[in-house]
Amino acid sequence: MKGKGYHIREVARLFGLHPDTLRYYEEQGLLRPQRGENGYRLYSIQDICDLSVIRELRQLEMPVEEISQYMVRRTVSGTLELLRREQSLIDLQMAQLRRLRRDVEKRADALEQGAQAPLGQLEIQQLPPRRCYCLKGKMIKESEIDLHLQRLEKEHEELLRSIDSRLLGAVLDSGAMERQIYDRFSAVLILGENARDGNWWLPEGEYACVRYGGSYEKTWQVMPRLLGELEKMGRQPEGPALELYLVDIYDTDQEEEFRTEIQVRLKPLERKEDDRC
């Protein structure tokens, strides 16, 4: 302390703030330091107490305007009202943190399952209808998928915040598939457990699923084998195939750790005459 108060750098260091932050609080009328004979700001003990209150409220993300209104004239009733407001803000932040923790846990579980998923095994799964966010394009190239996914996230930014365990994917272009071209796509997707406001549905039904590791270019190898296996089983695909990214560039920069799942919806089996009631 120098003379009758603390200098700005001392106060800034005491509270772990930049001096410009203290100047900003002064501009907003939250602090009113005196000036010494040399014109330097001098912060009193009252200013120190005020700054403790300001920092506490700012940590709760209370707007500066509200803090300013409170700091103009403080009373016991006003402080009680402010404390109740703080309690509400703390409750809100705790709820947000709990939700964020659940989301992180689900993402960790999904990533672990994706990384450990068996590779190369053809599985037939009965999947429910899945709501998702979709951005359609015209013959999207493999190299353009990330860009389109970024556009999709930007387009639905607010709604996507409520999605748990999001899964990114793309829809192979049907026309290109007929020509045995497997790196052209007609849409990109974001799926999630609670994507209730999604703008598209993936239909329910039986899906042939197979996973592979490494470069996305392996879809060229996986798709012909998958379709060949289905032909041997007497099953036919219905609609375009899906390419879902269980572990991708957002999770690792090691290409050998990538995990991709191909899903092909199957036409229902024709029931034999004897099976009908």
**Shared domain check, 251 and 130:** yes
Whether the predicted model's global pTM rises above the 0.95 cut: no
Q: Would residue 238 count as lying in a domain?
A: yes
Tell whether 36 is covered by a domain. yes
Identify whether the C-beta of residue 30 lies closer than 8 Å to the C-beta of residue 67: yes
Whether residue 111 lies inside any domain: the answer is no
Chain segment 213-254, per-residue pLDDT in tens: 999 889 999 999 999 999 999 999 998 999 999 999 888 999
CATH number at residue 15: 1.10.1660.10
Q: Is residue 92 part of a domain?
A: no
Judge if 61 and 121 occupy the same domain. no
- Quote the pLDDT of residue 1: 43
Q: Is 156 found in the same domain as 70?
A: no
Same domain, 244 and 157: yes
Q: In terms of domains, do 68 and 122 share one?
A: no
Q: What is the pLDDT of residue 103?
A: 82
Q: pLDDT tens digit string along 18-77?
A: 999 999 999 988 898 998 888 889 999 989 988 998 988 888 888 888 888 888 777 888
- Token pair 């195939």 is found at 241
| Domain termination site, one of 74, 107, 125 | 74
Among 40, 74, 108, residue at a domain's last position: 74
Mean pLDDT of the chain: 88
Position 56 in a domain: yes
Q: How far apart are CA 69 and CA 64, in angstroms?
A: 9
Domain residue limits at 40: 8-74
Query: Pick the residue with more confidence: 11 or 161?
Result: 11
Q: What is the CATH number of the domain that holds 246?
A: 3.20.80.10
Q: 3-state SS of the chain? A: CECCEECHHHHHHHHCCCHHHHHHHHHCCCCCCEECCCCCEEECHHHHHHHHHHHHHHHCCCCHHHHHHHHHCCCHHHHHHHHHHHHHHHHHHHHHHHHHHHHHHHHHHHHHHHHHCCCCCCEEEEECCEEEEEEEEEEEEHHHHHHHHHHHHHHCHHHHCCCCCCEEEEEECHHHHHCCCCCEEEEEEEECCCCCCCCEEECCEEEEEEEEECCHHHHHHHHHHHHHHHHHCCCCECCCCEEEEEECCCCCCCHHHCEEEEEEEECCCCCCHHHCC
Task: Indicate the residue type of 108.
Answer: A
The verdict on 35 and 163 lying in the same domain is no
| 125 plus 262 within the same structural domain | yes
In a domain, 86, yes or no: no
Tell me, yes or no, whether 64 and 131 share the same domain: no
Q: For residue range 177-222, list pLDDT tens digits in order.
A: 999 999 999 999 999 877 777 889 999 999 999 999 999 889 999 9
**Domain boundary, last residue among 20, 41, 74:** 74
pLDDT surpassing 60 at residue 129: yes
Does one domain contain both 123 and 60? no
Give the model's confidence band at 164: pLDDT under 50 very low, under 70 low, under 90 confident, else very high.
low
**Does one domain contain both 218 and 131?**
yes
* Alpha carbon distance 95, 50 (integer Å): 29
Residue 106 within a domain = no
In a domain, 2, yes or no: no
**Which strands form 130-141's sheet, in the order they lie side by side?**
123-127, 205-213, 259-265, 242-247, 167-172, 184-191, 130-141, 200-202
The domain total for the chain is: 2
